[in-house]
Amino acid sequence: MNRVWTAALVVIGDEILSGRTEEKNIAQVANWLNRQGVRLAEARVVPDVLEAIVDAVNALRPVHDYVFTTGGIGPTHDDITVDSIAAAFGVPVVVHPQARLVLEDYYRGRPGGLTEARLRMARVPEGAELIPNPTSGAPGVRMGNVYILAGVPNIARSMLEGLEGKLEGGSPIVSVTVRAHVAESDVALLLKEVQDEHPGVSIGSYPFYGGGKFGADFVVRSEDADLAEGCARVLRDRLKAADFEVVSG
């Protein structure tokens, strides 16, 4: 079995904790990490408070291969992610010369040009590298194993695209879904038996209601595609043998 690569995500923003804004980055970061062969092992949502960000990042960066953050990298007073990551690493904040050039170019000809507020977006912890961002002027930032992304989901996505294939990882996790019109509670024992017979595979059970029928999706996941497929086949056969209606998978 290959070594498992893990990451944690720190979602930064009062707007998530106040309920104003639905969280949208956990799922997209998780799916992107899966494709890089890295497992999202945990996520935390913290407020726009320096100590809270520092505590979360410093708790997570020694125990995971990668830490991603989203949010708090805009030009306003509540955007304190760069300052917080610098504090977490114990380094000063500096203006990154290349980020400054990117912003000068981006704001050339726009009213006001590169104002002091806009220049805030070129600030990085000393020693950091930039993550290119084709969508808007402000780049993302990598500091050690911490990747600082935007909070706006489509800008975060564009930064992830810029990082595609650049992270070291293991095998992508393969998932096979078996959908059946069953009550979870009728197959709980069957599921556990099938999982216990297949080490290296996990089976998740997710009930749904749709088209006037109750059912459940059984998601079989493994780093080994053959194991996942084999386990899904056994599960499917076992469900059919017990006269349950398997819809797909």
91, 153, 162, 184: which one binds its own copies (CB under 8 A): 184
Q: Which of residues 31-70 bind its own copies (CB under 8 A)?
A: 31, 33-34, 39-48, 52
Residue 44: CB minimum distance to its own copies, A = 5
Q: Does 152 bind its own copies (CB under 8 A)?
A: yes
Q: Is 21 in the site for its own copies (CB under 8 A)?
A: yes
Of 91 and 136, the one with the shorter C-beta distance to its own copies is: 136
Nearest to 133 by CA among 111, 113, 98, 158: 158
Please identify, using beta-carbon distances, which residue of 31 and 98 lies nearer to its own copies: 31
| Alpha carbons 26 and 11: distance in angstroms, whole number | 8
Which alpha helices (DSSP H) does the chain contain, by range? 14-17, 25-35, 50-60, 81-89, 97-107, 116-119, 153-163, 184-196, 225-241
| Residue 216 to residue 198: CA distance in whole angstroms | 20
Query: Where in 122-151 is the site for its own copies (CB under 8 A)?
Result: none
Site residue total, its own copies (CB under 8 A): 63
Three-class SS state of 22: coil
Place of tokens 């002091």: 116
> Considering all CA atoms of the chain, what is the largest pairwise distance in Å, rounded to the nearest integer?
71
Nearer to its own copies, 127 or 161 (CB): 161
Output the CA angle 5-141-83, nearest 5 degrees. Answer: 110
Residue 221 touches its own copies, criterion: CB under 8 A = yes
Residue 237: which residues within 8 A CB-CB, separation 6 or more?
Answer: none
26 versus 93: smaller Cβ distance to its own copies = 26
CA distance 7 to 43: 9
- Binding of its own copies at residue 185 (CB under 8 A)? yes
For its own copies, the closer CB: 129 or 172: 172
Q: Is 231 in the site for its own copies (CB under 8 A)?
A: no
User: Measured from the CB atom, is 97 or 111 closer to its own copies?
Assistant: 111
CA distance 158 to 195: 37
Residues that bind its own copies (CB under 8 A): 14-24, 26-31, 33-34, 39-48, 52, 74-78, 111-112, 115-118, 120-121, 152, 173, 175, 184-189, 191-192, 195, 202-207, 219, 221
